[in-house]
Amino acid sequence: MAGIRIDSVTKSYGALTVLKAFSLDIADGEFVVLVGPSGCGKSTMLKILAGLEEASSGTIAIGERDVTDLAPGDRDIAMVFQNYALYPHLTVARNMGFGLKMRGTDAGEIDRRVNDAAKILGIDHLLERRPRALSGGQRQRVALGRAIVREPQAFLMDEPLSNLDAKLRVHTRAEISALHKRLRVTTIYVTHDQTEAMTMADRIVIMKDGVIQQIASPDAMFREPANLFVAGFIGSPGMNFLKAKAEAAGGGATAKLFGHDVRLPIANGGALAGREIVVGLRPEHIAAGPGQVSFTVSPRLIESLGSEQYVYVDLPEEHRREASSGGEDESRRTSLIARLINPEPRPPEATLTLSFDPARLHVFDAASGEAIR
């Protein structure tokens, strides 16, 4: 096992740069998740780490070794692919032992390690089967097993759960986390699913357009998102955004939200006076009934999940942001979602009083999108 140091890695295809000065230090035994929307460069970074793609510039070190120019097989890493990439002509046992065989490991030792890994994953009864005779979940375990038997310095996982159905995905997610706790092998995991990132990671690296947006623990990223993109990406449903203007008030700053002058939870509010801002409010921080800041709405739609309700409300015109060029969902710009826990049953056409605590608000600069604290 070893830590990984990625220093200013860039990847370009001609004029198109898909990865821009990516730098990251990963501690020995850490579970790091690269997350972001399609095309953000996360899989490219993983392939560069594996040696399957060449970096245009920058260096990568695994432990004390600079592996930037090493072939994939010489990096001492193991990879789990999105489609598992099991060798269809080999049995499960030979699939799992293939990497060890390539390294000239003694046949007896290969058998012992394959059997040990198969027992850990509960696939010891499948060892003589071919991949085509396995279910999706079993294939996924074999792919994990192939990585485990190698006892590598690091695991690289490229969206390994995306081909599983929802129930199995949740189950396997927990299994991978448990496996990591048991083996403590440095793991870099790529996904576009923020729930996977939040539940599995020691640290999340969130990316957009080839640029790291924020590196933080799941809780820190949820509590203190660095910018509008991170705030909108992390959390389900995503954060509500309201356009507003900051006003100076008694050394701090306020903004008019739903007709109320609401004090903003920022340190140096005076400097913000007169600036256009975006106020962020998480759906779960909105409560039913009166509170510190209350407002009455006519819900456009109420979705009930039993234990919780999603209430969709049209935002007042003055709080709607201009359409961005980033392909943002139009409904997120024009509506507000409240996530009400253990709600009272209510008819959808009834008006409803909602409230929030101003201390829960997030403030972002409208022009740059950066968080203001």
| Residues at the interface with another protein (CB under 8 A) | 47, 50-52, 71-73, 77-79, 81-83, 85-89, 98-99, 102-103, 146, 150
By beta-carbon proximity to another protein, the closer residue of 48 and 372 is 48
By beta-carbon proximity to another protein, the closer residue of 73 and 259 is 73
User: Can you state the angle between helices 107-121 and 136-149, rounded to 10 degrees?
Assistant: 130
Closest distance of CB 356 from another protein, Å: 47
By beta-carbon proximity to another protein, the closer residue of 84 and 222 is 84
Measured distance CA(65)–CA(236) in Å, rounded: 40
Closest distance of CB 87 from another protein, Å: 6
Measured distance CA(59)–CA(7) in Å, rounded: 5
Closest distance of CB 83 from another protein, Å: 6
By beta-carbon proximity to another protein, the closer residue of 130 and 275 is 130
By beta-carbon proximity to another protein, the closer residue of 86 and 338 is 86
Closest distance of CB 75 from another protein, Å: 8
Closest distance of CB 1 from another protein, Å: 17
